[in-house]
Amino acid sequence: MGKKSKKSRSVSRRAMTQTAYSAPKNKAINPIIIGIVTVTMVIVMIVTVAPSAIPGQSGSRPSGATQTIDNSTQQRINNLEQALTSDTKNLGILVELGNTYFDVGQYGKAIDRYSAALDIDPNNTNVRVDMGISYYYLGMVSQAIAEYRKALDVDPQKPQAHLNLGIALADDTPPNVDEAVAEWQKAIQYGGGSPDLVKKAQDQINKYKR
């Protein structure tokens, strides 16, 4: 077995099926008001966060670099958070908020919303895996491993969980490369419907077996 190589990014769900929430559209608004609001948003909605995850891309966890949340995404977050205040147990809103925070790199907030969603639907393995990835990107490897294992308790053949568990195990302290390779082999075994996932798992095996 070769030495431990570079850390690798986790692979996200991206095939999530969920109840999408769309904020209600307003009726016609005075164009002057629209202009004022637009200018105000450009000035005040400059929010920076950790870089968003790139599903399945090799490399280290996101660094301290920042990215800007565009106005439309921030407005979407605001709308979802507002809707949640009057429907705190809405699974669809919680998952969509978690996904949105995940996509813009706000992993702590993503974990909060995913955790609330899992309180409602503890067997949702897609959410469970994404919460694990969020922990991993925050450097909380042990918590990530625990979430992946919980997902596999529900669905032992979930290839995304096996692939990500392997990545986390190889990045644990100390690294557990042998178990990581075993998890990647399971990802290949169960990931026949996803050639890209299978390739990523094989790439990881090849990297660590050098």
Residue 69 DSSP label: P
Q: Residue 105, by phi and psi: left (phi above 0), alpha (psi -120 to 50) or beta?
A: left
Pick the range with the lowest mean pLDDT from 44-48, 134-138, 151-155.
Answer: 44-48
- 42 versus 103: the higher-pLDDT residue is 103
Structure tokens given for 204: 């990881």
The yes-or-no verdict on residue 78 having pLDDT over 80 is yes
**pLDDT in the model for residue 28:** 38
Residue ranges per domain, the chain? 30-50+62-122, 140-210
Q: Which CATH number fits domain 30-50+62-122: 1.25.40.10, 1.10.287.3510, 3.40.50.850, 3.40.50.261?
A: 1.25.40.10
Following DSSP, what letter does each residue of 129-174 receive, concatenated? HHHHHHHHHTT-HHHHHHHHHHHHHH-TT-HHHHHHHHHHHHTSSS
What are the percentages of helix, strand and coil residues in the chain, rounded to 5? 60, 5, 40
The yes-or-no verdict on residue 137 having pLDDT over 60 is yes
Angstrom distance (rounded) from CA 91 to CA 116 = 8
pLDDT tens digits along 19-52: 222 233 333 334 433 343 343 333 333 332 333 3
The yes-or-no verdict on residue 60 having pLDDT over 50 is no
Fold match flag (30-50+62-122 vs 140-210): yes
For the chain, how long is the longest CA-to-CA vector?
68
Provide the 3-class DSSP secondary structure of residue 48: strand
Class of domain 140-210: mainly alpha
- Contact by Cβ (8 Å): 93, 20: no
The yes-or-no verdict on residue 95 having pLDDT over 90 is yes
The yes-or-no verdict on residue 57 having pLDDT over 50 is no
Collect all residues with Cβ–Cβ distance below 8 Å to 48 and sequence separation of at least 6.
Answer: 66, 67, 68, 69
pLDDT band at 56 (very low <50, low <70, confident <90, very high): very low
**pLDDT in the model for residue 53:** 32
- Contact by Cβ (8 Å): 96, 109: no
Residue 75 DSSP label: H
Provide the 3-class DSSP secondary structure of residue 9: coil
Angstrom distance (rounded) from CA 3 to CA 14 = 32
